[in-house]
Amino acid sequence: MSTSDHLPEKSDSNPSLDKIREESAAESRERLDHPVIGRAIFAIAIVTALSHIYFNTWSTLSELWISAIHFGLFGLLCALTIPMVKTRNTGTGRLVFAIDLMMGLAALGCAFYLIGFENALYARGVTFSTADWVVSVVAVGLILEFARRTTGWFIPVLCVVALTYVAWWGQYVDGLFNFPGLTWETVLFRSYMGGQGMLGSIARISWTYVFMFILFGAFLVKSGAGDFIVELARCAAGRFVGGPGFVAVFASGLMGSVSGSSVANTVSTGVITIPLMRKAGFPARFAAGVEAAASTGGQLMPPVMGAGAFIMASYTQVSYLTIISVAALPALLYFLSVAMFVRIEAKRSYAVKLDDGDAPTLKEVLKDGWHYLLPLIVLVASLIYGFTPTYAAGIAILSVIVASWLSKKPMMPKDILEALVQGTRNIVTTAILLITVGLIVNVVSTTGIGNTFSLMITEWAGGSLLITLLLVALASLILGMGLPVTAAYIVLATLSAPAIYTLIAQSQILELLTSGQLPEQAKAIFMLAAPDQMDLLGAPMDMATAQQLLSLVPESFSSQLLEQALSPHAIAMALVSAHMIIFWLSQDSNVTPPVCLTAFAAAAIAGTPQMRTGFTAWKIAKGLYIIPLLFAYSPLISGDIGEMVRVFAFGLFGVYAIIAGLEGYLEHPLRWWVRLVMFPVGALMLWPHDSLMLDLAGLGIFIAILVWSARKGNRQSGSQSQRPVTA
């Protein structure tokens, strides 16, 4: 395995992470290249991978014990592979390594202490002994230090603020956020020993779904599937105008579906797609922006979704298979929206068809690499058959090894071991992050801040779902400046998902009221809340009357009203919609200045100004803001298959119309008044009016403008020479 495979991986956080990793890279290489230390790290990674495979298949250990071992093993790996401080002095370096080794072993010791003395703690009536105090404080301190190494100072500081709020200064806060406080013994118990906090539900997501699917991705890449994906995309590069831009979108979507990291997606596919786009005639900054926007979409594409699908399934108690099923169409819509920008820019920049002599044909690519598709088929088939996601991932990993024997380079024992190591290395940052974020989630659930924050958002928004979404989008952008996108999603989901869920569910009740279709059992709630208004429930009513009637229902009756008025499926999908909105909005920090790490990575490849590239990527990634509105106001992910396809189809053309208005270009330059027309035409197809005639009217107008623009563009291209190709 090459040295570069062992370097601390990048994650979607903030630009300061690059500096952190650059400072520790030299020490990491020295350790990993060391004949003894390097082999020890290699062996620990293999043990970690095999133990987690066992935990997710045949183990009967308690989840608390497994979470503790998960913390201990990844704490040890983090301590050994990411040095505490930068130093170039040999003597100091040895001292730092000795301290790191002791910290890693201490994390492992904390895990085994919990396993060995858990029963004794409960036998004492959950009263801490001196050893319990020491171990709990050390465990919390270690995870905060490991988080500092992997994600910077923001998360550790946020955790300290949260923990001290519960135990100390919360009692001095006036108003809604006053909290009487807990003893430090209770705080530490809930943070570590009690199976909450560090070892709670977020940690279980880490050692189950996240680990198994990232390991699956590592096996795919090691088997050669990553090269197959890129080659499959490249074979289309010279087939049509703007092909290299579509290659970036296609390759990033496929790679992102298994990699789960937008930055890794950018640097792996961008080194090929960005030069191809520039060679075809695309401006360098646009090429970098397309790669950044498309790579960000990789976080939205099933089955991995950057760990979001697993966390969402845990939060909503909706099956993982359902989550990835409803996420597929929106993800496809996002990638097509990026492709629309590519199409428009290809026409405007006179991008040529690129005759890539090195590009293989589709037949050649499929002939040599068709077997790389088998593990994905096995994964999907296993999920449909009914296996748990973790077990399905285990079967898929075995299928990668079997499928590799159909290629010219089958995976040998050395390749399998290296895949195990690389998969383990790939999750170090994510594992530490999720364990640490568990502390914040535990504080939020303990204090009830989540419900308070949701009520506060609802009050600020005046009950408006749209204003609520705008507030959450702003909060997401601010959090994204300091948190990785996964952590930003977890924090925002904990705080604001209840508010969005309630407003979405209430909007569905309003539809039932206005149509006069409120179920009889739900009318009983109104009989208790507003008996003098019962005569209004028997017939359709206007929206203002429905809103006034709904406002009469007391807050204490709200949950009962939702349960009586809506089906269990509708309630579950309203919750999924709320979480999907937050998950999509949490991706915006990847492409939104001033913190847009994915765009910065693409700019480095293209050699373009970072901030200007960030604004270009932000413009191209407009789907991140438009499509979540469809989650809230349409049945794109909550309806039956017919409704979903209809919203998708009209939404596709609606987004295209809005993009044409933004760019001022379709098949030829658009006059200002045509640009203005495109926005209401797009909104006509996107707005949830439940009128097929209005959708068809918007579609008809757009197609007419598109045909007119194509004819104008053909006449213009026939009257002027094509621009020369620029490198």
Task: Give the 3-state DSSP-derived string for 413-445, with helices as H, strands as E and coil as C.
Answer: HHHHHHHHHHHHHHHHHHHHHHHHHHHHHHHHH
Count of CB atoms situated within 10 Å of the CB of 129: 12
- What is the chain's mean pLDDT, rounded? 84
**What is the secondary structure of 594-606 as a DSSP string?**
TB-HHHHHHHHHH
Question: Does pLDDT of 64 surpass 70?
Answer: yes
Residue type for position 328: A
Task: Identify the weakest region by mean pLDDT among 24-33, 319-328, 633-642, 711-720.
Answer: 24-33
- The number of C-alpha atoms within 13 Å of 570 and in the hemisphere containing its C-beta is 15
Q: Tell which wins on pLDDT, 207 or 549.
A: 207
* Tokens coding 640: 């039956």
SS3 (DSSP) at 179:
coil
- Pick the range with the lowest mean pLDDT from 228-232, 404-408, 464-468: 228-232
Q: Which residue shows structure tokens 């801490």?
A: 128
| pLDDT over 60 at 21, yes or no | no
pLDDT band, very low/low/confident/very high, at 127 (cuts 50, 70, 90): very high
Please say if the pLDDT value at position 14 is more than 50: no
Q: Residue 640: count other Cβ atoms within 10 Å of its Cβ.
A: 9
90-115, pLDDT tens digit by residue?
A: 667 788 889 999 999 999 999 999 99
Query: Dihedral angle at the C-alpha atoms of 306, 309, 311, 312, nearest 10 degrees?
Result: 140
- Range name among 159-163, 272-276, 311-315, 440-444 with the lowest pLDDT average: 272-276
What gap in Å lies between CA 11 and CA 157, rounded to an integer? Answer: 19
* Average confidence (pLDDT) over 560-564: 84
pLDDT tens profile 385-401 = 878 888 888 998 999 99
Q: Residue 725's pLDDT band (boundaries 50, 70, 90)? A: very low
Task: Give residue 259's pLDDT.
Answer: 63
Q: Is the pLDDT of residue 237 over 70?
A: no
Quick check: 561 pLDDT over 90? no
Q: How far is residue 407's CA from residue 367's CA, in Å, rounded to a whole number?
A: 10
| Stronger pLDDT, 11 or 602, i.e. the higher one | 602
Largest CA distance in the chain: 89
Please provide the size of the chain in residues.
727
More confident residue, 219 or 386: 219
Q: What percent of the chain has pLDDT over 90?
A: 35
* More confident position, 135 or 214: 135
Please report how the helices 374-385 and 389-404 are oriented relative to each other, as an axis angle in degrees rounded to 10.
150
Residue 11 in tokens:
């994650």
pLDDT grade, residue 155 (50/70/90)?
confident
How large is the average pLDDT for residues 349-369? 70
Secondary structure of 608-657 in HEC code, one letter for each residue: CCHHHHHHHHHHHCCHHHHHHHHHHHCCCCCCCHHHHHHHHHHHHHHHHH
**Which has more pLDDT, 654 or 369?**
654
And the tokens for 53? 């495979």
Average pLDDT on 491-507 reads: 88
Residue 209 is classified by DSSP as I
Q: How far, CA to CA in Å, does 423 sit from each of 45, 70, 206? A: 9, 15, 13
354 DSSP assignment: P
Does the pLDDT of residue 526 top 80, yes or no? no
* 181 Ramachandran zone, left/alpha/beta (phi>0; psi -120 to 50): left
CA–CA separation, 705 and 657 (whole Å): 10
The 10s digit of each residue's pLDDT in 322-345 is 998 999 999 999 999 999 999 898
What's the mean pLDDT in 408-428? Answer: 90
What is the dihedral sign for C-alpha 648, 246, 221, 7?
A: negative
CA-to-CA distance for 163 and 141, rounded, in angstroms?
12
Percent of the residues in the chain that have a pLDDT greater than 70, as a whole number = 90
Q: Whole-angstrom Cα distance, residue 314 to residue 47? A: 27
Tokens for 629, please give them. 């509105």
Cβ–Cβ under 8 Å, residues 264 and 252: no
The reported pLDDT for the residue numbered 50 is 95
Of 7-11, 174-178, 191-195, 275-279, minimum mean pLDDT range:
7-11
Do the beta carbons of residue 278 and residue 726 sit within 8 Å?
A: yes
What is the model's pLDDT at position 236? 58
Residue 565 has pLDDT above 50, yes or no: yes
Provide the H-helix boundaries in 362-412: 362-369, 374-385, 389-404
Q: CB under 8 Å to 638, separation ≥6 — which residues? A: 326, 570, 573, 574, 576, 577
pLDDT: is 605 or 239 the higher one?
605
Express each pLDDT in 278-310 by its tens digit: 877 889 999 999 999 988 888 888 877 767 788
705 pLDDT higher than 70? yes
Sign of CA dihedral 286, 292, 297, 298: positive
End-to-end CA distance of the chain: 35
Tell me how far apart the alpha carbons of residues 322 and 307 are, in angstroms, rounded to a whole number.
Answer: 15
User: How does DSSP classify residue 106?
Assistant: H
Least reliable range by pLDDT among 101-115, 246-260, 262-276: 246-260
DSSP string, 507-559: HHHHHHHHHT---HHHHHHHHHH-GGGGGGGGS---HHHHHHHHHTS-GGGHH
Mean pLDDT of 240-254: 74
Closest CA to 190 of 128, 238, 146, 104: 128
Using the predicted structure, report yes or no on whether residue 363 has a pLDDT greater than 50. Answer: yes
The closest of 86, 95, 82, 96 to 148, measured between CA atoms, is 82
